[in-house]
Chain A
Amino acid sequence: MSAFFGLGKTRTFKPRKDVPEGTKQYQLRKYAEATLGSGNLRLAVRLPEGEDLNEWLAVHAVDFFNHLNMLYGTVTEFCTAQECPIMSAGPRYEYLWEDGVRYKKATKLPAPEYVDALMNWAQGLLDNEEIFPSEMGKPFAKNFRDTIGRLFRRLFRVYAHLYSNHFDHICALGIEAHLNTSYRHFFLFVNEFDLVDKRELAPLDELNEAILAEDKSR
């Protein structure tokens, strides 16, 4: 399973070199300044003293999954196969889906189908008692950290799609501060525990840098 996903890492993420960088990122950065409250999220992501790292990773995985469910749920009527015929993060990055079950090969999917497949896959992991034990005292599997990495890498893609293709919709619905706060929290968490490869985070690089810079200037 993990060997398979290791391959997926390079095959399902396609940065396109032929599309120039636009001003979209700048726009994003400007609007991404709106957040809920000014409290320190960097502090909130840190592993509390004496806490079990896996328990901390697991509860956050569930939290961010729920955030994305909520957030993506608000744009489902805009994210259609016509409007988003491929799963992408702007014109420069496209994603292919591969789960080894229904899609054995990296496959181009319209964004709504891709997100549906991704969220169902994630739900399957979170509900799997062997991977995310819910019984008190039951230990996590040895490879839990790898699973978490895969999960966060994929969840990132949904944030990236929301920002790149649906930020106008999010703004029209008045929930940009909510998305921004959730993403900041997600990114600072990923950054704190080094969960996702830098290359994968590239679609939101400017935003990520702004989050880190702002965090330092506190």
Chain B
Amino acid sequence: VPKKPITPSLATLEKAVAAKIFFENLYFPLLRHPPSREQRRVAMEKEMAAMQLGEAQKENIRRRWRQNETDYLRERRRKVDVNAFVKLKTIG
């Protein structure tokens, strides 16, 4: 079967470049070792060790840290900007 040549328009090429940048910015840090959330957790543990806190105090701080991370996820979801939503195509 002879294949049709693919000749994308300029608009499509622009969308492809935007997608490239979007995914590379997303995945290069995400695939870093160790993941950023783990880095934050380790940093917190180190700090607490340096401060010589008691176990109960530590657990309290950990709980607040976890809540903070949860809030961060919700915040991230809220920030879904309407502009990022490229209206696909309106039905006729």
Could you tell me which A residues sit within 8 Å of B by CB distance?
36-41, 43-44, 48-52, 55-56, 58-59, 62, 66-67, 69-78, 112-113, 115-117, 119, 123, 126, 132-134, 136, 168-169, 172-175, 178, 181-182, 185
Could you tell me which B residues sit within 8 Å of A by CB distance?
3, 6, 8-9, 11-13, 15-16, 18-20, 22-24, 27-28, 30-33, 35, 37, 62, 66, 69-71, 73-74, 76-78, 80, 84-86, 88-91
Taking each of B18, B19, B20, which has the highest tally of chain A beta carbons within 10 Å of its own beta carbon? B19
Chain B at the A interface: SS class: helix
| Alpha-carbon separation in the docked complex, A112 to B89 (Å) | 8
- The answer on a CB contact under 8 Å between B85 and A123 is yes
B23 → chain A closest CB, angstroms: 4
Chain B residues near A40 (CB-CB < 8 A): 31, 33
A-B contact pairs, 9 of them (CB 8 A): A37-B28, A48-B69, A51-B73, A69-B84, A113-B91, A115-B88, A134-B77, A169-B6, A175-B16
Chain A residues near B27 (CB-CB < 8 A): 36-37, 39, 181, 185
